[in-house]
Amino acid sequence: MTKLITGATGQIGSELLPALADLYGADNIIAVGHRRKPDASLQAAHYYSLDIRDKAALQDIVVKHRVDGIFHLAALLSAVAEAHPQNAWNINMNGLLNVLETAKQYQCSVFFPSSIGAFGPQTPKDNTPQDTIQRPNTIYGISKVSGELLCDYYRQRYGVDARGLRFPGLISYKTPPGGGTTDYAVEIFAAALEDGHYQCFLTADTRLDMMYMPDAIAAIIKLMQAEPGRLLHANAFNVTAMSFTPAELAAEINKHIPEFTISYQIDPVRQGIADSWPAHIDDSAARQEWGWRPQYDLPTMVGDMLAHLRGK
Q: Which residues are catalytic?
A: 140
Among 8, 30, 116, 216, binds ligand AKB (CB under 6 A): 116
State which residue, 68 or 267, has the beta carbon closest to ligand AKB.
Answer: 267
Query: Interface with ligand AKB includes 181 (CB under 6 A)?
Result: yes
- Binding mask 32-71 toward ligand AKB (x if CB under 6 A, else -) reads ----------------------------------------
Smallest distance from ligand AKB to CB 176, Å: 12
Question: What residue type is assigned to position 27 of the chain?
Answer: D
Question: Nearest Cα to 47, choosing from 19, 102, 5, 10?
Answer: 5
CA 57 to the chain's CA centroid: 24
State which residue, 6 or 28, has the beta carbon closest to ligand AKB.
Answer: 6
Phi and psi, residue 124, nearest 5°: -55, 130
State which residue, 62 or 77, has the beta carbon closest to ligand AKB.
Answer: 77
Among 115, 123, 238, 240, binds ligand AKB (CB under 6 A): 115
Q: For residues 77-106, which are near ligand AKB according to CB under 6 A?
A: 77-78
**Residue with the CB atom nearest ligand AKB in the bound state:** 180
Burial string for 31-46 (b: 16+ CB within 10 Å, else e) reads bbbbeeebeeebbbeb
State which residue, 82 or 161, has the beta carbon closest to ligand AKB.
Answer: 82
Q: Could you give the CA distance from residue 124 to residue 129 in angstroms, rounded to a whole number?
A: 8
Query: Interface with ligand AKB includes 13 (CB under 6 A)?
Result: no
Smallest distance from ligand AKB to CB 178, Å: 9
State which residue, 78 or 134, has the beta carbon closest to ligand AKB.
Answer: 78
Among 9, 28, 102, 182, binds ligand AKB (CB under 6 A): 182
Q: Is 205 exposed, middle or buried (0-12, 13-18, 19+ CB in 10 A)?
A: exposed
Query: Interface with ligand AKB includes 117 (CB under 6 A)?
Result: yes
Q: For residues 131-160, which are near ligand AKB according to CB under 6 A?
A: none
CA 23 to the chain's CA centroid: 20
The torsion defined by the Cα of 301, 302, 304 and 308, in degrees rounded to 10, comes to 130
Among 180, 246, 278, 294, binds ligand AKB (CB under 6 A): 180
Please say whether the beta carbons of 123 and 134 come within 8 A: yes
Q: Could you give the CA distance from residue 93 to residue 96 in angstroms, rounded to a whole number?
A: 5
Contacts for 190 with CB less than 8 Å, ≥ 6 apart: 309
Query: Interface with ligand AKB includes 164 (CB under 6 A)?
Result: no
Question: Nearest Cα to 81, choosing from 141, 154, 26, 28?
Answer: 141
Binding residues for ligand AKB, rule CB under 6 A, total: 13
- Chain contacts with ligand AKB (rule: CB under 6 A): 77-78, 115-117, 167-170, 177, 180-182
